[in-house]
Structure 1
């Protein structure tokens, strides 16, 4: 054919090639599609089908930690439940019976506080409402949010027994909580005592450590002088011991002073040095001293006792807060204040026997009592004066030291933070957490200044201070009578007084304390990540006795009767059984004065007993959930067939629960069963905004999972949660979600390609002999086996970040960018649609695609719960749910290390070739890699195979990598440029053979 001869019209061969077809759309439309899939699951009782399919299998039980039923699901809830769902679904996929019973915490201050807020808006006082009516409102409020959150979590694709959740406010649950409390009482692991506990004056109740958060605040710091009236060191009598504090409100409850036995002290005195306008004046010093005294600072020349190391800090505080005086009136131009040594150095231990008097001693009574000096190992020289004022009502160290020396609390500060009305100083005033009350010009400092005891006061001390995480108000240490579980008491095991106690003792072993049992249980528990063991271990090792009581209305009561004369609580199994039965029948309202005699029976007179009205710490409620969820029999699927009914395989919550639910569950179970209620504990971090800032409504950076599901769909949110390193704090934001959405799109396209490529696939074309497959197919099966092992290991390690990323990387890098790209030519062209003929190589490829499909849709099912169902249903419209399937049958023997090494080299060469061709593509010298010829140094495959892998016209060996444009003509059917193609548009040998084959 010459250049002047017109080319014949090229034939259109499109009807002779395989063009993938699928109804699976590229656009997901998840917000619209997911609710329809969810409705189908609920209508068909998918959860029941899964339970039936796994009923005879080995069990894996994740016990749900109960969130509070007091608001919409937030991003933390979403992350937590997605992780739990991932655990349950991956264990189910592996063939385990892994039932999930969701639950809610329904008692306690979080809910009571919300109901009180409604009262406050209506200007009503909840204390004027009958307690049963108030509790009913709390119950209704909690139920509303249980129902709301339940629907939101369903929409997130969380599978579980949503029709039968556990609620701590169910009567059955309340009865079990009461029974668990009785076990502590019956085994002598309960006592009533007065100790300082974290107290919220705003919420008027004790708080658990888990309910506290710390924030930086600015407080008033003051230095106060206590006059020494007795001492074995004569020079000290008449001097003033100086204390420093950032809680001025505790001075009215002071009862002693503490010193450090090893601290070095000394007497000092202030000297003022003033200059006259016209030279020195010998009367000037007296004038300055009188002026300072009149201004409320009568301390010049008075000896003060301080730690030597802290004298200069004290001097600076006093100099900075001296009261202003009129220097002109006394003829001075300037004033210098200097602290000078005024006595010998004194070893702290030598202060024993020294006694001071309170600055307000003139009030008499409590304030006239001597204030002894006591040795305190906790006294340091880090800050202050080296002397610490002791208020046993308001500090743990204070309480312990004073108690050891026979000094008892006085309970001067009431539950609302005000001093008792009958208190001699500031009676009826407060609240003690009010900054104005403690300010330098507030009533405390004013009275101390008038008494000549205030040396320095300034509202400028920045420090970390505990707050209630609920009301955000400051809390105080306050000594009140509370109920405690001792951490270090060895239980008397000689004379069990009830069957429960005998069982507890048998479980615990002899001579162990609750702390020892808990520490051993921590050692026996698996923690993911491992650092969780040290975190909870350090907390349990140093924690004080467990405070069980709260002074509120909405909760499980401490169902004890205390003898009015002996102070002993009643232990009688018959009485306890009657109480438990009544609570089971009528809930917490059954605990009332009206029924006291009914419970006590004929053996006891209700007039002789105090009925305790405190309620249990809500952490005790949630700490008992293992008892009424895993042991009650209400959820038969949770009862282990091996007889061990209480130990869960996994607890999974945020890292803050090391001091919360993980710990309360641990202590409750160790105290009643002698071991932890869990075999493993997994913790996750917290979700920050895209800048790494903590989410806060006040900052306006919160992200609602409900909004995200409406805009993106639940599967996008799930993919985000399972892609981040959730064991640490992690981020979410628009840009991050956009990246996740792109990752989802790539995964979806992988499934769309598989569905289209497998159109019409039948078992007749399956290649069963893997050894007979082309090497590339065997390599892909090797990669699949490697992935399978990696994902299985990730499931065992709860490493869902690696699980999800490995799956995504395999789909994107190994399949879409590599395998699919190479084999699309065989898929399209190694078949004759008219006759059904296909090459053995294409049959092998489609066989591998089918194997990949069945593996990948299963792997993806726990992550993309809705999309995987859509994928499965697209290929098998009449089949059951994808979530009834089990882990794919991938032969570990497919994993061939030699193939892996060889093809890693091939892929490296392919990447180099692609990179070398790219400049020619940009210049449009070569429009497609099919137009390129490449020279390869040290090729790893024969040239025909390399041409297919590199998708080029010709590949040959060469000294260096080189690219040229081919002169070969283009096949009209497969578009490859090959030597045997005579003219553009004519057929290559392969296409000619396929079309002629029958």
Structure 2
């Protein structure tokens, strides 16, 4: 009797699959091609078409560079969810999409074509489309349950038109306005930035305690008296317009190593730690300083009355000297206080800094005109030292806002921008958060905190590659008209948004609205924040 091998006595399944997949990439490609050839995704959609829908809207990744692990994690999780819901018999269309406008693409094209005369919007358009195709091929390797021939893209003229219509709806509801105030500004890219485009990193700055002379107190005491002021941005000192104190705080006139200084009471201990000899001469109330005294500006401004005002809500007694120098063009809190005391300011609140960070003649200090603000920083420190106006300086490291793209430090800069009134919709937003199921549960409270703290959204950018803010100007005053905006959307749907930037839309608008638009009317050149492009994707895509 012939002996059998043990394996011959076992009932094992037989398969043509190799024991080892030595060429898994080729195998996966064949599987994908078979799924596409047999149109498995489309057949499942058709089978479940009349069943309960499950719509998972995919927010668009940015079309710039290769996909990374974050993209893969995002799409694989979504794919698992869509496949599961499809297996439950639900109708599950899943549409890919791409975010194609914005500064990263524009910046890359400017660098790639340096010194060349180009149609910037056209090269950005072509590059974005090439990135979409490259990323789509990468996504195919994930085997996503979708139709790769059907996708949305934010540079599509229909999408752009719908985005402009959404803007028009917000305008009709009074949610859009033009504001003149300091906002985060990138001098390198010469544009405004929104909070979502800001990252915080440690930055080294000079902490400066400097003196500002008080003529009134000096006359009264028969000896030169100074206000002691603290700043970490010395370059803003030449554009100082007011000093602010805390009315409810206690201040002291002190003899500090032979100099008379006015500081908040809690500053005395700090001076002693620095090795200063301090003698208290007189106690003062913050309210006694407000509006009753002027000061000698470190950089004399002819005819200016330099006044002291109330700044209680912004002044921390534990930090600084209790006396804050205000440069309204470069600080939001400074601007708020200055607007409240506009009648005391010499001239108008205006910005002496060009978009690229260079000071113009409005700074009022001839030797600083044409200098970059970072250069002015060191010049001011040296100048104040020469005049013996610095009590203490030291380099500190602190958390500071940076541009998320090139990691360069930002500044606040006074400029006119377009905003969406978040405050007007905040109550409704917070109510609707409670109507959503959140996973994990703690994220609901996190979202509430974010919305509650959110300020109005700056949506304008001073760039070329994006959807235009459809505002015309007459005598430099904006025309915010919903009928015009709707008509702009109609034209963009037909021609694309290039018609706004090449000016070819203007004759059509004049013909349609002869009573509103004449030969002196011109088109605004700001584009919408790219986060608005992706932010309206739920409307532009799911509506259809």
TM-score by length of 2: 0.92
C-alpha change, 1:364 and 1:72, in structure 2 (3 Å) is same
What's the CA shift for 1:260?
A: 2.3
The alignment status of 1:569 with 2:526, answered yes or no, reads no
CA contact (8 A) 1:196 1:396 kept: yes
> 1:418: which partner in 2?
358
Cα distance in 1 between the residues matched to 2:323 and 2:195: 28
> 1:627: which partner in 2?
539
CA contact (8 A) 1:356 1:373 kept: no
| Aligned pairs (5 A) from 1:547-946 | 547-564=458-475, 567=477, 569-573=479-483, 575-592=484-501, 593-600=503-510, 601=512, 602-631=514-543, 633=544
Cα distance in 2 between the residues matched to 1:236 and 1:580: 70
| Aligned pairs (5 A) from 1:215-364 | 215-230=201-216, 238-271=224-257, 301-314=258-271, 316=273, 338-364=276-302
> 1:540: which partner in 2?
451
SS of equivalent to 1:472: coil
Cα distance in 1 between the residues matched to 2:471 and 2:284: 53
Cα distance in 1 between the residues matched to 2:296 and 2:21: 76
What's the CA shift for 1:237?
A: 9.1
What's the CA shift for 1:383?
A: 2.5
> 1:169: which partner in 2?
155
CA contact (8 A) 1:35 1:155 kept: yes
Cα distance in 1 between the residues matched to 2:350 and 2:124: 35
| Aligned pairs (5 A) from 1:132-147 | 133-147=119-133
SS of equivalent to 2:281: strand
> 1:976: which partner in 2?
none
What's the CA shift for 1:379?
A: 0.7
CA offset digits 1:794-847 (Å, max 9, x no partner): xxxxxxxxxxxxxxxxxxxxxxxxxxxxxxxxxxxxxxxxxxxxxxxxxxxxxx
Cα distance in 1 between the residues matched to 2:429 and 2:56: 21
Cα distance in 2 between the residues matched to 1:467 and 1:405: 31
The alignment status of 1:67 with 2:8, answered yes or no, reads no
SS of equivalent to 1:79: helix
What's the CA shift for 1:314?
A: 4.2
C-alpha change, 1:135 and 1:568, in structure 2 (3 Å) is closer
What's the CA shift for 1:539?
A: 1.7
Cα distance in 1 between the residues matched to 2:229 and 2:297: 12
The alignment status of 1:159 with 2:145, answered yes or no, reads yes
The alignment status of 1:104 with 2:104, answered yes or no, reads no
Q: 1:389 aligned to 325, 330, 333, which one?
A: 325
Cα distance in 1 between the residues matched to 2:223 and 2:72: 66
Deviates more, 1:22-31 or 1:259-268: 22-31
CA RMSD of aligned residues (A): 2.5
CA offset digits 1:515-546 (Å, max 9, x no partner): 11111122222222222222222121121111
C-alpha change, 1:204 and 1:36, in structure 2 (3 Å) is same
CA contact (8 A) 1:314 1:384 kept: no
Cα distance in 2 between the residues matched to 1:411 and 1:236: 38
SS of equivalent to 1:370: coil
CA offset digits 1:673-721 (Å, max 9, x no partner): xxxxxxxxxxxxxxxxxxxxxxxxxxxxxxxxxxxxxxxxxxxxxxxxx
CA contact (8 A) 2:330 2:411 kept: yes
**Corresponding pairs, count:** 534
SS of equivalent to 1:251: helix
SS of equivalent to 1:362: coil
Cα distance in 1 between the residues matched to 2:413 and 2:228: 24
> 1:53: which partner in 2?
47
Cα distance in 2 between the residues matched to 1:315 and 1:608: 65
SS of equivalent to 1:603: coil
Cα distance in 2 between the residues matched to 1:19 and 1:383: 78
CA contact (8 A) 1:267 1:342 kept: yes
> 2:26: which partner in 1?
32
Cα distance in 1 between the residues matched to 2:323 and 2:238: 17
Cα distance in 2 between the residues matched to 1:570 and 1:463: 42
What's the CA shift for 1:13?
A: 7.3
> 1:675: which partner in 2?
none
Cα distance in 1 between the residues matched to 2:499 and 2:272: 62
CA contact (8 A) 1:228 1:354 kept: no
Cα distance in 1 between the residues matched to 2:58 and 2:282: 65
TM-score by length of 1: 0.51
Cα distance in 2 between the residues matched to 1:158 and 1:237: 80
CA offset digits 1:45-98 (Å, max 9, x no partner): 222122112211111111111111010001111111111111111111221111
What's the CA shift for 1:241?
A: 1.1
> 1:849: which partner in 2?
none
C-alpha change, 1:267 and 1:561, in structure 2 (3 Å) is same
SS of equivalent to 2:202: strand
What's the CA shift for 1:137?
A: 0.5
CA contact (8 A) 1:260 1:348 kept: yes
SS of equivalent to 1:199: strand
> 1:516: which partner in 2?
427
Q: Which runs of 5+ in 2 are unaligned?
A: none
What's the CA shift for 1:552?
A: 0.5
> 1:874: which partner in 2?
none
SS of equivalent to 1:380: coil
Cα distance in 2 between the residues matched to 1:189 and 1:402: 25
Q: 2:135 aligned to 142, 145, 149, which one?
A: 149
C-alpha change, 1:340 and 1:484, in structure 2 (3 Å) is same
CA contact (8 A) 2:471 2:478 kept: no
CA offset digits 1:641-693 (Å, max 9, x no partner): xxxxxxxxxxxxxxxxxxxxxxxxxxxxxxxxxxxxxxxxxxxxxxxxxxxxx
C-alpha change, 1:22 and 1:142, in structure 2 (3 Å) is same
| Aligned pairs (5 A) from 1:200-219 | 200-219=186-205
CA contact (8 A) 1:213 1:467 kept: yes
CA contact (8 A) 2:168 2:482 kept: no
CA contact (8 A) 1:231 1:351 kept: no
Cα distance in 2 between the residues matched to 1:360 and 1:123: 43
> 1:400: which partner in 2?
336
CA contact (8 A) 1:64 1:102 kept: yes
Deviates more, 1:548-557 or 1:244-253: 244-253
SS of equivalent to 2:277: strand
What's the CA shift for 1:240?
A: 1.2
**Larger Cα-atom Rg:** 1
CA contact (8 A) 1:258 1:373 kept: yes
What's the CA shift for 1:422?
A: 4.7
CA offset digits 1:415-436 (Å, max 9, x no partner): 111111453225434432x3x6
The alignment status of 1:181 with 2:167, answered yes or no, reads yes
C-alpha change, 1:555 and 1:306, in structure 2 (3 Å) is same
Cα distance in 1 between the residues matched to 2:223 and 2:40: 84
Deviates more, 1:148-157 or 1:346-355: 346-355
What's the CA shift for 1:375?
A: 2.6
> 2:399: which partner in 1?
464
> 1:654: which partner in 2?
none
The structure with the largest helix share of the pair is 1
Q: Which runs of 5+ in 1 are unaligned?
A: 1-8, 272-300, 320-336, 489-512, 634-998
Cα distance in 2 between the residues matched to 1:428 and 1:560: 33
Cα distance in 1 between the residues matched to 2:202 and 2:67: 29
CA contact (8 A) 2:292 2:308 kept: yes
